[in-house]
Structure 1
Amino acid sequence: MRRVSVDIGGTFTDCFVVWDGKYIEAKALTTHHNLALGFNEALGKAYRDLGLELEEILAQVDSVRYATTLGTNALIEHKGPRIGMLVTAGYEATVPLSRARGYGEGLDILGQQDLPNAQRPDPLVLPHMIRGVRERVDFQGDLVMPLDENDVRAQIRELVDRGAEIIVVALVNSVVNPAHEQRIEEILLEEYPSHLLGAIPVVLSHQVAGRKGEYVRASSAIVDGYLHSTMYHALSALEQNLRAHRYEQPMLVIHNSGGMAQLNSTDALQTIHSGPVSGIGASEHLAMQCGLGNVVATDMGGTSYDIGIVVEGGIKHYDFNPVIDRWLVSVPMVHLVTLGSGGGSIASYDRMYDTVKCGPESAGSDPGPACYDRGGMRPTVTDADLLLGYLDPQNYAGGSIPLNPRRAAAAVEDTLCDELDCSVIEAALLIREKVDDNMANGLFTELRARGYDPKDFTMLAYGGNGPLHCCGIAQNLSIDKILAPPFSSVFSAVGAGNLHQLHIHETSLYMVLYDSNSRRLFDDYVRFNDIVADLKERGTQDLLRQGMAREDIHHSLELDMRYGNQLVQTTAVIPRHEVRGPADVLAIIEQFSEDYGKRFGKGSQAPEAGIRINTIRVAAFVRHETVQFEDIKPLPAERRKSPPPPSSTRTCHFVGHAGAFETPVWSRAAIEPGMQIAGPAIIASEVTTFLVNPGWNFVAARQGASWFLRA
């Protein structure tokens, strides 16, 4: 297997190369003005280890896979085109009203409890850029009012005159009958043919989201349209860079559904959070292969801290209506929580509470933390880590980024010391304590909200800063086991290389499996089977277009079900994809009852209210060869070995401990599997730093994995 996988983050571009059984990891600063430059630099470090040239690698690899936060950043920064929108006449206010509570989406709990004072997000489409067209289709897809094509042409011209750069079409009930949306696309191309300079892209809502729910489907299409140009140009530039260096295969893009596809089969909305989702995919793969049981995946990079849960058996949590930035959308996405806590998180004085505040604003890669000596003037978490002695100024990021302690000290002193009446070291300890507390609180809230006890989980700490902060986070949660997985600094890039090509198609409907009034079971088997077959074929055709063989394509079937008119839906994975009689219907009901009972407690099932299906969802996928992890469980205590003498010592300060510690420092390359080191200690590598707090033990495992065990 020869493969290149890349995770382009807000601060660093991570690269993982698999070359005939050899695994190589490399990092470089993200070059936001041209992502290809950061990619070439990171890959350059990898191919130098192989003794090859860039063209030699790209000409021989079987695939290049990209995960990126580019879309997330563009949405947060509000950098997008002017959108024009066509809706069914009479529904022009659906998006601005946003269900009357939409401006609470994306706020924290306190913000959602005080909606009258909540600040609305700046709209992605302005109200005067929304136009109604005369047409109507009912909930079953039957025609009520034909499309007035003259009206459509007039509305399109008015939107273009007002400066629309992209047209989003979201008509009522278009998921059950998309004919009018499709005809509007044809009319737009007739008015503004693609060969004309300035031709306008069009986004149809039924192609972006296949479920009912007018507002969430419209907002999904808006977000997709808003990111379309940014993602198209950035990813096209990456693909052109590959072509220029003799790579001839299609470029693959990671999706937030936990799969991937070629660029020409990817919507912009599917790339949101694809980097963190790749890390969760790698966590699932590692947990299943090595028998780790319940794991909580934590990815601390330069900009954010991402949390994902994988329970025993490899079951992932999905969001089917996730909130992206401040917008509720309708797209199946692997569930994760993102906090604005990373190495680049900016520290400031919190005047209200007379303490330190960390994040969510980040210094990013340009100018970066003050210690990068690139013009940054505000203190960050990385500056605090440097001042506390954890980082080597001469060998940070393998020596590619020399750090300036004087700049870090000046930034901390100017911003915090006078306000808090403390020394630079005391201020740095406050920064460290605050950021670790923020991440621990986010982790605790996520686990407890889903009914889990943190003590039942192994914490996976990865990302460039994960092993540096993991002990401080875990000791606040009574977590006793932390695993820095193999290739921890580029673990999300490892995950990008392990995902399968996958497409998810779904449709909303009203299908009663059990009618409690008439006490009848569902018997329209042809309707159910035809819908499933259609969704399967759509996914199959997606993969066939990408060159996959039909015999390699597999499918999984999921049903969103609920009792009666309950608002809560439960997703059931159905092993049998055809319904041929009452026994098959009862098997579906039994599967739903079992899943419902696991989620809400045995005895909570309510079949007397009736049972119905709201969504049918089919995932079509092709499995690919994956990276294999070795057995990484720590050796028993009696079989562990002592480490060699440390290479040096460093003066370090730790939260909760008075005075300084003369802390021994080892090179990660000198630590063999089975060796144990008692904290405080530092184990340094070219790509990350492993900090062992007092009261913890570091135990080396195979394949570069490392355990932190509470003493």
Structure 2
Amino acid sequence: MRRVSVDIGGTFTDCFLVWDGQYVSAKALTTHQNLALGFNASLEKAYAQIGLGLGEVMGEVDSVRYATTLGTNALIERRGPTVGLITTAGFESSVPLSRGRGYGEGLPERLRKDLPMAERPEPIVPIQLIAGVRERISETGEEIMVLDEEDVRAQVHRLVDRGAQAFVISLVNAVVNPAHELRIEELIREEYPEHLLGSAPVILAHKVAGRKGEYARTSSAIVDAFLHKAMYLGLSSLELNLRDNGHQRPMQVVHNSGGMAQLNSTDALQTIHSGPVSGIGASEHLSIEAALGNVVCTDMGGTSFDIGLVVEGGIKFYDFNPVIERWMVNVPMIHLVTLGAGGGSIARYDRLRQTVAVGPESAGSDPGPACYDRGGREATVTDADLLLGYLRADDYAGGHIALSERRAANVVRRTLAEPMGIDVIDAAKLVRQKVDNDMANGIAQELRARGYEPGQFTMLAYGGNGALHACGIANAIGIRRVLIPPFSSAFSAVGAGNMDQLHIHERSLYLQIYDSVTRSLLSDFDRFNTIVAELEDRGRSDLLRQGFEPAQIEHRLEVDMRYGNQLAQTAVVVGWNRITNSDELLQLIARFGSDYGKRYGEGSQAPEAGIRINTVRVASFVSTPKLRFSDVLAPDAERRPAPDPLRVEDCHFVGAEAAVPTGIHALADLAFGAVVPGPAVVVSDSTTYLVEPGWRLTVGRYGAGWLDRMVINAGENT
């Protein structure tokens, strides 16, 4: 296996190289002006570790896989074309109204409750660029009103005159009959062929999202159109960079659905949050291999802190109406929660509460934290960690980034210590305590909202700062065991290397499978099976287009079910790909009832209201070879005392008034199974492991390690 996988983050670009059984990771600062530069720099560090050249690697690797934040950044910075929206006449206000809740979506809970000060986000499509056309399709797909083509031409001319550079077509009920959306696309091409208007993208909402819910489906298409240019130019430049360096195979792009596909089979919307989703995918794989049980995935990078769940050996949670930036969209995306808490998160004095606040603003990679000595003028979490003694100024990131303790002290003194009337170390402790508590609160809310207690979970701590803050987070939330996975600082890149080729297609329908009035089951399965076959054909076509053989393609059928007219829907994995008789239908109903009871409480099932299927979803995939990490964790039998530390230095810890003598170790000197009691700092080229007092680290392979609370028994640590 020869494979390169890359996670392009807001601060660092992580690279993971697999070469005939050798595993190598490397990091470089993200170059936002040209992502290829950061990729080349991180890849150069990786292949140099095993004595290879760039041409040799690029010419011979099986695949290059990207997970990127390019789309997220484009949304935040509002870099995109002027988008015009064509919708059914009478529904022009659907997007501006945003279900009446658009003021709060994408905001923290505190701001969602502040109704008097509520402000809606700046729209991607302003009202003057929304056009209604005369047409109508019924909820069953019947044509009620013929499309008025002259009206369409007039509305398209009006949008172009007002500056539209991209078009979104989202008509009511187009998911059940897209004929009018398809015809409008033809009319736009007739009126404005490429030699007149250029390559203006025309996005059809029914192709972006296959479920009903007109606002979310339209928002999905709008975001996709807005990101189209940035994603096309950014990812195309990356693919050209590969070509220039000798890689002739198609570039693979990680999707937020938990799979990947070639660039020509990727929508811009599918790349949002693909980096954090890669980390959750890697956590799922590791949890199954190592039988970890319930796992909470935590990814602390330079800009953000991402939380995901993998329950009982690999169950993933999906969001089917996730909020991206400030807009609800309609795509199946691996569920995650993102907090503005990373190494580069800016700390400031909160005058109202007379304390420290951290994030969500970040110093990023340019200029970065003040200690990077690149012009940063705000205190960050990394500055605080340096002042507390956890980071080595001359050995950070393998010595590639020299840190300035003087600049970190100056900026913490000016922005925090002096306004609060405390010394610099106490201010740094407050920053550390605040960011750890914020991350712990985010984990607790996520777990308890789903009916779990933190003590039931093992925490996976990864990302560039995961091993540095793991003990602080676990102390604040009450978790007793933390796993630092292999290649933790580049774990999302590792996950990108383990992705399957995957496409998800779905379609809304109204199908009553149990009628509570007549007490009868559905007996005609042809409509349901026809839809499943159509979705399988779409997924199969996607994968055949990418060069796979029909025998390699597998399908997984899921349905969204509900009791009667309840709003609550439950996604159920069917387990087979057709329903052919009543016994199979009853098995599906039983599975739905079981899943519903686990989620909402046993006894809450309501079959007396009837049972409906609202969405059919088919995941079409091709399994690819996986990396194996089942032997990287040291069992109890392998544990042995660690050698003496290289030196002992003073570090400062939250809750300890005075400095604490702390052993400094090099990870390269610690053998498999070595146990390092806290307090200790373990330094590697890519991350720093902080073992706080009361904890111990058991070292595994590839930088993996268990962090356990030490139990005090009869005066001895066990």
Q: TM-score, normalised by structure 1?
A: 0.99
The Cα of 1:542 is off from its aligned counterpart by 0.5
Secondary structure at the aligned position of 1:494 is classed as helix
The separation in 2 between residues aligned to 1:452 and 1:633, in whole angstroms, is 26
Mapped pair 1:135 → 2:135? yes
User: Within the alignment, does 1:699 sit opposite 2:698 as a pair?
Assistant: yes
Q: Which runs of 5+ in 2 are unaligned?
A: 711-718
Question: Which residue is 2:675 aligned to?
Answer: 676
Q: Which amino acid aligns with 1:647?
A: L
> 1:9-59: CA deviations, max 9, x gaps?
000000000000000000000000000000000000011112121111010
Counterpart-to-counterpart distance in 1, 2:459 and 2:171:
45
Do 1:192 and 1:200's aligned partners in 2 also have CA atoms closer than 8 Å? no
Equivalent position of 1:297 in the other structure? 297
Deviation at 1:195, TM superposition (A): 4.1
Which residue number in structure 1 is paired with residue 310 of structure 2? 310
Give CA-to-partner distance per residue, 1:259-294, whole Å, 9 cap, x none: 000000000100000000000000000000011111
Q: How does 1:118-129 map to 2 (within 5 A)?
A: 118-129=118-129
Mapped partners of 1:607, 1:360: distance in 2? 45
Q: Secondary structure at the match of 1:39?
A: helix
Give the aligned partner of residue 102 of structure 1: 102
Q: Which amino acid aligns with 1:706?
A: G
Q: Residue 632 of structure 1: CA displacement?
A: 4.0
Partner of 1:600 in structure 2? 600
The answer on whether the counterparts of 1:279 and 1:492 sit within 8 Å (CA) in structure 2 is: yes
What letter corresponds to residue 154 of structure 2 in structure 1? Answer: A
- Structure 1, residues 487-546: CA drift from partner, whole Å, max 9, x if none? 000000000000100000000010000111122211221111111111111101100000
* Corresponding position of 1:391: 391
Given that 2:649 and 2:664 are in contact with CA atoms closer than 8 Å, whether structure 1 keeps it comes out as yes
Range 282-291 or range 48-57, more displaced: 48-57
Match of 2:716 in 1: none
Q: Deviations over 1:93-120 (max 9, x none)?
A: 1100111112211122233333343221
CA shift, 1:198, in A, is 2.7
Partner in structure 1 of residue 322 of structure 2: 322
Counterpart-to-counterpart distance in 1, 2:377 and 2:124:
32
Contact 2:664 2:683 in 1 (8 A): yes
Task: Report the AA paired with residue 466 of structure 2.
Answer: G
Q: Could you tell me whether the CA contact under 8 Å between 1:30 and 1:38 is conserved in 2?
A: yes
Shift of 1:156: 1.1
Give me the whole-angstrom Cα distance separating, in 1, the residues matched to 2:487 and 2:343. 18
Q: Which residue of 1 aligns with 2:626?
A: 626
> Shift in Å at residue 674 of structure 1?
1.4
Whole-angstrom CA distance in 1 between matches of 2:457 and 2:587: 33
**1:560 maps to what in 2?**
560
Q: How does 1:47-86 map to 2 (within 5 A)?
A: 47-86=47-86
State the alpha-carbon separation in 2 of the partners of residues 569 and 591 from structure 1: 14
| Alignment correspondent of 2:7 | 7
Q: What is the 5 A alignment of 1:231-246?
A: 231-246=231-246
- Distance apart, 1:576 and its partner CA: 2.0
CA distance in 2, matches of 1:463, 1:233: 27
For residues 340 and 268 of structure 2, what CA distance do their matches in structure 1 show? 23
Partner of 1:665 in structure 2? 664
Residues 561 and 611, structure 1, Cα contact 8 Å, conserved in 2: yes
Bigger drift between 640-649 and 233-242 goes to: 640-649
Counterpart of 1:661, as a letter, is V
CA contact (8 A) 1:371 1:405 kept: yes
SS of residue paired to 1:377: coil
Measure, in 2, the Cα distance between the counterparts of 1:291 and 1:199. 51
Secondary structure in 2 matching 1:498: coil
Q: Kindly provide the CA deviation profile for residues 623-648 of structure 1, in whole angstroms up to 9, marking residues without a partner as x.
A: 00011003344432x76322122122
Letter in structure 1 aligned against 2:176:
V
Partners of 2:628 and 2:423 lie apart in 1 by 48
SS of the residue corresponding to residue 103 of structure 1 reads coil
Rounded Cα–Cα distance in structure 2 between residues aligned with 1:415 and 1:703? 39
Quick one: which amino acid aligns to residue 545 of structure 2? Answer: R
Match of 1:466 in 2: 466
The reply to whether residue 641 of structure 1 matches residue 640 of structure 2 is yes
**Alpha-carbon displacement from aligned partner over 1:119-139 (angstroms, at most 9, x marks no partner):** 211111111110111111111
Q: Percent identity?
A: 63
2:651 is aligned to: 652
Q: How does 1:135-214 map to 2 (within 5 A)?
A: 135-196=135-196, 198-214=198-214
Offset, 1:196:
4.2
Map of 2:476 onto structure 1: 476
Q: Distance in 1 between matches of 2:522 and 2:318?
A: 28
CA–CA separation in structure 1 for the residues paired with 2:548 and 2:479: 44
2:194 is paired with a residue of what secondary structure?
coil
CA distance in 1, matches of 2:458, 2:52: 39
SS at match of 1:297: strand
The farther-off stretch of 140-149 and 342-351 is 140-149
For residues 153 and 395 of structure 2, the distance between their equivalents in structure 1, rounded to whole angstroms, comes to 62
* Distance of 2:348 and 2:399 partners within structure 1: 28
SS at match of 1:371: helix
Q: After TM superposition, where is structure 1 displaced by more than 3 Å over at least 4 residues in a row?
A: 632-635
Q: Hey, what does 2:42 align to over in structure 1?
A: 42
- Asked if structure 1 preserves the Cα contact closer than 8 Å seen for 2:633 and 2:704, the reply is no
Quick one: structure 1 residues 148 and 703, their matched pair in 2 at CA, closer, same or farther if it must change by over 3 Å? same
Of the structure 1 ranges 187-196 and 319-328, higher mean CA displacement relative to structure 2 is found in: 187-196
d(CA) in 2 for partners of 1:400 and 1:631? 31
Does the 8 Å contact 1:156/1:188 carry over to 2? yes
| Aligned residue type for 1:159 | L
Matches within 5 A, 1:237-316: 237-316=237-316
Q: Give the deviation of 1:589 after TM superposition.
A: 1.1
Which amino acid letter does the alignment assign opposite residue 31 of structure 1?
T
- Give 1:569 shift: 0.4
1:148 Cα deviation from its structure 2 partner? 1.2
| Correspondence for 1:378 | 378
Structure 1 match to 2:714: none
Code of the residue aligned with 2:688 in structure 1: it is: T
Q: Deviations over 1:645-691 (max 9, x none)?
A: 21223221011111112211111011111111111100000000000
**Following the alignment from structure 1 to structure 2, what is the Cα–Cα distance between the partners of residues 238 and 382?**
30
Between the aligned partners of 2:658 and 2:518, the Cα distance in structure 1 is 76
CA contact (8 A) 2:168 2:203 kept: yes
SS at match of 1:64: strand
Is there any run of 5+ residues in structure 1 with no aligned partner, and where?
Answer: none
Report the Cα distance in structure 1 between the residues aligned to 2:166 and 2:649, rounded to whole angstroms.
Answer: 57
CA distance in 2, matches of 1:194, 1:588: 49
Residue matched to 1:572? 572
1:634 and 1:249 map into 2 onto residues whose CA distance is: 38
Q: Is the 8 A contact 1:680 1:696 kept in 2?
A: yes
Give the aligned residue type for 1:674.
Answer: G
* RMSD, aligned α-carbons: 1.1
Counterpart of 1:438, as a letter, is D
Distance 1:584 1:309 in 2: 30
> How many residues of Structure 1 are paired with residues of Structure 2 in the alignment?
710
Displacement after TM superposition at 1:197 (Å): 5.9
Separation of aligned partners in 2, 1:2 and 1:610? 53
What is the identity, as a one-letter code, of the residue corresponding to 2:405?
P
Query: What is aligned with 1:410?
Result: 410
Read off the aligned partner of 2:163 and give its amino acid letter: G
SS in 2 for 1:375: coil
Deviations 1:287-331 (A, max 9, x none): 000111111100000000000000113100100001111111100
Q: Name the SS for the 2:641 alignment partner.
A: coil
Greater CA drift, 642-651 or 108-117: 108-117
How far 1:386 moved relative to its partner?
0.7
> How far, CA to CA, are the matches of 2:701 and 2:411 in structure 1?
40
8 A contact 1:630–1:702 mirrored in 2: no
Residue in structure 2 matched with residue 508 of structure 1 by the alignment: 508
The equivalent residue for 1:33 is: 33
Contact 1:629 1:703 in 2 (8 A): no
Partner SS, residue 656 of structure 2: coil
CA contact (8 A) 1:290 1:632 kept: no
